[in-house]
Amino acid sequence: MREIKVVPYKTEWQNQYEIEKRLLEAIFGAEILSIHHIGSTSVPGLAAKPIIDILVEVKQISLIHTYNNEMVKMGYECKGENGIEGRRYFQKGGEDRTHHVHMYEQDHSEVGRHLRFRDYLRKHPDEAWEYACLKQELAKKYQYSPAEYVGGKTSFIQMIDQKALRK
């Protein structure tokens, strides 16, 4: 059973992202248009689950499955779309996940949403703090219920998404 743990911000998360970014560049090469560190570990000072989320924009999402063997060799589990049309999703670390890779073709709506959310929290530390407090509260309440934890964050995330669209 996977346990939800929200921990204080760690400066090494940026280094972990940079290491993984280079590995992904080595695998996907010219197929990559851009790579971004997203999610809570990308917001300095924000408490987070210690999982590095990486967003990769690619030229042709339909070709990404041809790299699955290389991703498996790197320790990733290939999850296909995993509930979001047009995405290819990879998890690393099994039950103690360390990395999530979200791949989208350029201009997919989720790319902008993720980047706006990250950038908004980076520019609004009071709301990032509020989000951290919510996540810590939810992690205690739903320690062994990932779906409940995620569900508890939904309205806050939607509120930030709306504010980020207006900025």
Question: Do residues 27 and 73 touch, judged by C-beta distance below 8 A?
Answer: no
Decide if pLDDT at 2 tops 90.
no
What are the pLDDT digits (tens) for 48-80? Answer: 999 999 999 999 999 999 999 999 999 999 999
Query: What's the confidence (pLDDT) of residue 76?
Result: 98
Query: What's the confidence (pLDDT) of residue 167?
Result: 75
Helix (H) or strand (E) holding 32: strand 32-38
Please state, for a pLDDT cut of 70, what percent of the chain lies above it.
100
- Please choose, from the candidates 71, 77, 73, the residue with its C-alpha nearest in 3D space to the C-alpha of residue 92: 77
Q: Give the separation between CA 137 and CA 166, rounded to whole angstroms.
A: 28
pLDDT (mean) for 13-35? 98
**155: CB partners within 8 A, 6+ apart:** none
pLDDT (mean) for 82-106? 96
CA count, 13 A, side-chain hemisphere, 23 = 16
Query: What's the confidence (pLDDT) of residue 1?
Result: 75
What are the pLDDT digits (tens) for 95-148? Answer: 899 999 999 999 999 999 999 999 999 999 999 999 999 999 999 999 999 999
Question: What is the crossing angle of helices 109-123 and 146-166, to 10°?
Answer: 80
Query: What's the confidence (pLDDT) of residue 95?
Result: 87
**Average of per-residue pLDDT values in the chain:** 97
